[in-house]
Amino acid sequence: MKITVLDGYTENPGDLSWNWLEKCGECTVYDRTPAELIAERTKDCDIIITNKTPLRKPLLETLPELKYIGLLSTGYNIVDWEYCKERGIPVCNIPSYSTNAVAQLVFALILEHTNAVALHSQSVHCGEWAACKDFCYQKAPLTELDGKTIGIIGFGKIGKAVAKIAEAFGMTVLASTNHPSDFGNVIFCDRDELLAKSDFVSIHCPLTPETDKMVNAEFLGKMKSSAILINTSRGQVVDEPALADALKNGVIAGAGLDVLSEEPARADNPLTKLENCFITPHIAWAAFETRERLMKICRENVEAFLAGKPLNCVY
């Protein structure tokens, strides 16, 4: 077996091991693969493992030996899986590995808005506390989560994990989903009601034609002017120019994003210039424990394929 990992660095920057994969065949692991080298590096491969390096039909048609594609992610839009289905090539993803980690980052972003930890810590390190006449001071308004309302759009495993944490904070939880079901004290309602009542709106839906740029000017205009938008799902769910305008003009109070429509971020993305928009570089999945879990599932997927029983095939 000839095996190639096209972009292994973000999954394993050096604190995990690919040794298990090397035991499966002749293996080459690349930190990253630019577009012009994809064809060369996948030539004659039996197994390709990729995270964000695209594998489209024109390339796949030139790979007669290809037998399996393993993803280092849950999303699989970077692979032409319909063509793979026609050829009988399993495309296997990594489901449900980052649920708790993503929910944790949702509240890291929320708490940065409500407690301004980084702002206050920086001010202390700059000497402001040492020069203060009082024993404490506030650089920004501080807010309790208890009694506030969070609206969750999309109520799969991550949405449910966010709801559990929110309830522990004493928050009222609203949810908008096509598949409502009893879950704690969650109140299910339509999207407009959720937007009108929520102090925080957290997006947890997949990217589909229906959700592409779902968070647009109309959507944002239905939110409270004091509300905070959180997006840890897919960057394309948000109309970024519309969000930038809403943040500049006080339509909503702030945002917390872990994803953007183009990654890495473009230097001219207007959201990166706004102080009321906290942005992290797609790190919700990047905790060591989360990546370790991902690697374990990737290994199970490959081993299951080699045993003739593919797991987590996306079609």
- Cα separation, 246 vs 221, in Å, equals 8
Tokens matching residue 138: 């506030």
Catalytic: 263?
yes
Q: φ, ψ for residue 280 (rounded to 5)?
A: -110, 150
Contact 264, 71 (CB under 8 A): no
Strand positions, DSSP E, the chain: 2-5, 26-29, 47-50, 68-71, 91-92, 149-153, 172-176, 187-188, 200-203, 228-231, 254-257, 277-279
**For residue 235, which amino acid is it?**
G
Contact 5, 21 (CB under 8 A): yes
- Cα separation, 226 vs 266, in Å, equals 28
- Cα separation, 41 vs 4, in Å, equals 7
Sign of the C-alpha dihedral computed for residues 252, 258, 261 and 264 taken in this order: positive
- In the set 113, 120, 282, 291, the catalytic residue is 282
Tokens matching residue 254: 């702030």
- In the set 234, 240, 291, 293, the catalytic residue is 234
Contact 99, 157 (CB under 8 A): yes
Largest CA distance in the chain: 74
Catalytic: 282?
yes
Contact 156, 133 (CB under 8 A): no
- At 117, is the secondary structure helix, strand, or coil? helix
- In the set 263, 266, 289, 303, the catalytic residue is 263
- At 220, is the secondary structure helix, strand, or coil? helix
The set of catalytic residues is 234, 263, 282
